[in-house]
């Protein structure tokens, strides 16, 4: 069974990022990933990382298996012309499309949308622009072209494929592109002769945009879309999905929150991550549709879901509640930091944990690396395998737990995500070894260190690049530790 998760627009990317963070916390291999958005800019210099950047970072640092990520545009190839910026400039050259008809169908604000950097809350513009792209010839074997990439992924399957589309009903790209893309995927599956099931994770409007602290009164003008636009888009799209579910999805979830949460606007120059229980729940629903058989129950549009105070206990991943995976992640982080300290400190004989289990020597030898202390020389030590990749993987564990802290803090408006402190300590304590050692490990650190690492065999390293071998050892250590904890 092949699996694909497609994030459409900004809200879809938040769902994908939440799904990736859950994959790291819970130790499962993600599906193939595709982000579809006209606006994937880096943003302002020295600003917070965008959601698109965070997705790329998460996908690049290995999971139990390699992750395929494609960043795709919903825009037609005609936008490469230097004079094309707005929707009107894009569509006006179409033969027979006179100015009077254009004005009758689209308002001035819609005609002025700068489609080169997004659809800015106008789903009609997004749908029309995307349909223009669908009518263009599809280039062969072009992984950067949306349709060519999806056709390749669908064709590489075993004749059965599950696809989940994630997006919103209230913005521009998700609202306008996602329904059209769902219909196109149906037609593609029929043409290629494959069995395709399509799921949807659809966010209805669940937040109000507010000004950052200290912002000038004129700041709301920078927001992509007004509150009235959000309300109109969401109400229309919910009714559309209700009336046309059978044509679009086999099973879909509408996810929201009432009363609305509060979210600060970042303006139209960047799209940072906004941790909240709604995004956590949305990422979990994407997991359910792709990995736990939820698509077996077809023909359903499930109503708006609001997280409750028991969220962490009933979100099950691979047969265990999320709280169990959080506990395992905290314990793994303590062990991973201990291994990282060893790789930086040098061979046995130094004052760390000695003698080291055999797997650490194998890890250094098979990766062609050195102990950090041996490479120090006269200046700062050069970072190398296996310490470099191991440190990156450990930092992703830290990052995932910090994300849960942020979700907890940002979701107090609904009383959700009150994870026990022993599972998710305060953000400034995450990554401090004594916190995890004291609260989460099944035995003293030196005992767990030897017992768990001694059970990791040489075969767990596998073959391939040094980065892949380090990742194999990292996740095999996680699996061995989970067996120890149960």
**Domain shared by 356 and 209, yes or no:** no
- More confident position, 410 or 62: 410
| Same domain assignment for residues 337 and 281 | no
The verdict on residue 230 lying in a domain is yes
Q: Are residues 213 and 326 in the same domain?
A: no
* Better pLDDT: 128 or 193: 193
Q: Is residue 315 included in any domain, yes or no?
A: no
Is 60 exceeded by the pLDDT of residue 219?
A: no
Q: Is residue 125 over pLDDT 80?
A: no
pLDDT score recorded for residue 214: 46
Q: pLDDT by residue (tens digit) across 294-314?
A: 888 777 777 666 666 677 777
Last residue of a domain, one of 306, 339, 370: 306
Indicate whether 215 belongs to any domain: yes
- Asked if residue 237 and residue 359 are part of one domain, the reply reads no
Domain identity same for 283 and 367: no
Range with the poorest average pLDDT among 226-230, 394-398, 440-444: 226-230
d(CA 474, CA 456): 10
Angle of helix 322-345 versus helix 387-410 axis, rounded to 10: 140
Whether the pLDDT of residue 63 is over 50: the answer is: yes
Is residue 213 pLDDT above 50, yes or no?
A: no
In a domain, 316, yes or no: no
Q: Given a cut of 50, is residue 480 above it in pLDDT?
A: yes
**How large a percentage of the chain has pLDDT more than 90?**
32
User: 46: domain range?
Assistant: 2-306
Residue 236 within a domain: yes
327 shares a domain with 269: no
Stretch 131-136: mean pLDDT: 82
Q: Of the residues 279, 306, 333, which one is the last residue of a structural domain?
A: 306
Higher pLDDT, 152 or 210: 152
Among 245, 273, 306, residue at a domain's last position: 306
Residue 323 has pLDDT above 60, yes or no: yes
Calculate the alpha carbon distances from 5 to 25, 91, 289 in Å: 18, 30, 10
Average pLDDT over residues 74-89: 68
Average pLDDT of the residues in 161-175:
89
Specify the pLDDT at position 89: 67
pLDDT surpasses 50 at 350:
no
Residue 157 has pLDDT above 80, yes or no: no
On whether residue 317 sits in a domain, the answer given is no
Q: How confident is the model at residue 253 (pLDDT cuts 50, 70, 90)?
A: very high
Contacts of 416 (CB under 8 A, 6+ apart): 277, 307, 308, 309, 311
Residues 143 and 184 in one domain: yes
pLDDT class for 104, splitting at 50, 70, 90? low
Domain co-membership, 247 together with 367: no
Let me know if residue 333 belongs to a domain. yes
Domain shared by 161 and 255, yes or no: yes
Dihedral through CA 405, CA 312, CA 53, CA 66, nearest 10?
A: 130
Average pLDDT rounded to a whole number, residues 77-100: 64
In percent, how much of the chain has pLDDT > 70?
81
pLDDT for the residue numbered 38: 79
Q: Residue 254 region, left (φ>0) first, then alpha (ψ -120 to 50), else beta?
A: beta
Average pLDDT over residues 44-72: 82
pTM over 0.95: no
pLDDT at 347: 74
pLDDT at 335: 93
Query: Which domain CATH number covers 178?
Result: 3.40.50.1440
pLDDT for residue 187: 92
Q: Is residue 359 part of a domain?
A: yes
Q: Residues 231, 11: contact at Cβ < 8 Å?
A: no
Q: How many domains are contained in the chain?
A: 2
Which pLDDT band holds residue 230 (cuts at 50, 70, 90)?
Answer: confident
Q: For residue 55, what pLDDT band results from cuts at 50, 70 and 90? A: very high
The verdict on 172 and 146 lying in the same domain is yes
Mean pLDDT of the chain: 81
- Based on the fold, state whether residues 45 and 75 are members of the same structural domain: yes
20 and 115, same domain (yes or no):
yes
């Amino acid at each position: 069974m092949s699996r694909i998760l497609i994030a459409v627009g900004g809200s879809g990317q938040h769902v994908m990022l939440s799904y990736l963070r859950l994959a790291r916390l819970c130790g499962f291999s993600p599906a193939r990933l595709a982000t579809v958005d006209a606006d994937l800019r880096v943003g302002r210099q020295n600003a917070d990382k965008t959601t698109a950047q965070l997705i790329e970072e998460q996908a690049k640092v290995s999971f139990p298996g390699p992750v395929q990520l494609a960043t795709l545009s919903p825009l037609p190839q005609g936008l490469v012309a230097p004079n094309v910026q707005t929707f009107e400039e894009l569509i006006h050259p179409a033969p027979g499309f006179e100015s009077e008809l254009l004005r009758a169908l689209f308002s001035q604000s819609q005609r002025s949308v700068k489609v080169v950097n997004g659809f800015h809350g106008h789903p009609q513009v997004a749908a029309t622009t995307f349909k223009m792209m669908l009518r263009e010839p599809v280039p062969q074997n072009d992984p950067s072209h949306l349709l060519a990439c999806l056709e390749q992924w669908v064709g590489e399957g075993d004749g059965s494929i599950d696809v989940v589309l994630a997006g919103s009903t209230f913005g521009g790209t998700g609202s306008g592109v996602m329904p059209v893309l769902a219909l196109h995927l149906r037609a593609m599956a029929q043409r290629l002769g494959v069995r395709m099931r399509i799921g949807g994770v659809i966010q209805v409007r669940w937040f109000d945009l507010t000004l950052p602290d200290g912002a000038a009164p004129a700041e709301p003008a920078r927001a992509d879309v007004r509150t009235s636009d959000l309300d109109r888009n969401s109400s229309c799209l919910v009714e559309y999905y209700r009336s046309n579910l059978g044509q679009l999805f086999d099973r879909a979830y509408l996810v929201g929150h009432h009363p609305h949460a509060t979210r600060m606007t970042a303006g139209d120059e960047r799209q940072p991550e906004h941790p909240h229980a709604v995004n956590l729940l949305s990422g979990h629903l994407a997991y359910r549709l792709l990995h736990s058989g939820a698509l077996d129950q077809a023909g359903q549009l499930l109503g708006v879901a609001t997280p409750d105070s028991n969220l962490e206990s009933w979100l099950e991943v691979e047969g265990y509640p999320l709280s169990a995976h959080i506990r395992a992640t905290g314990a793994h982080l303590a062990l991973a930091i201990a291994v990282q300290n060893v790789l930086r400190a040098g061979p046995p004989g130094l004052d760390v944990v000695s003698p080291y289990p055999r797997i650490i020597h194998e890890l250094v030898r098979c990766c062609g690396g050195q102990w950090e202390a041996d490479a120090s020389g006269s200046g700062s030590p050069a970072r190398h395998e296996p310490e470099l990749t191991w440190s990156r993987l450990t930092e992703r564990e830290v990052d995932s737990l910090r994300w849960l802290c942020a979700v907890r803090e940002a979701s107090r408006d609904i009383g959700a995500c009150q994870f026990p402190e022993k599972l998710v300590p305060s953000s400034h304590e995450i990554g401090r070894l004594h916190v995890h050692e004291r609260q989460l490990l099944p035995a003293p650190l030196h005992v767990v260190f030897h017992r768990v690492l001694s059970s990791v065999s040489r075969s767990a390293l596998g073959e391939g690049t040094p980065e892949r071998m380090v990742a194999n050892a990292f996740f095999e250590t996680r699996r061995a530790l989970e067996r120890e904890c149960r």
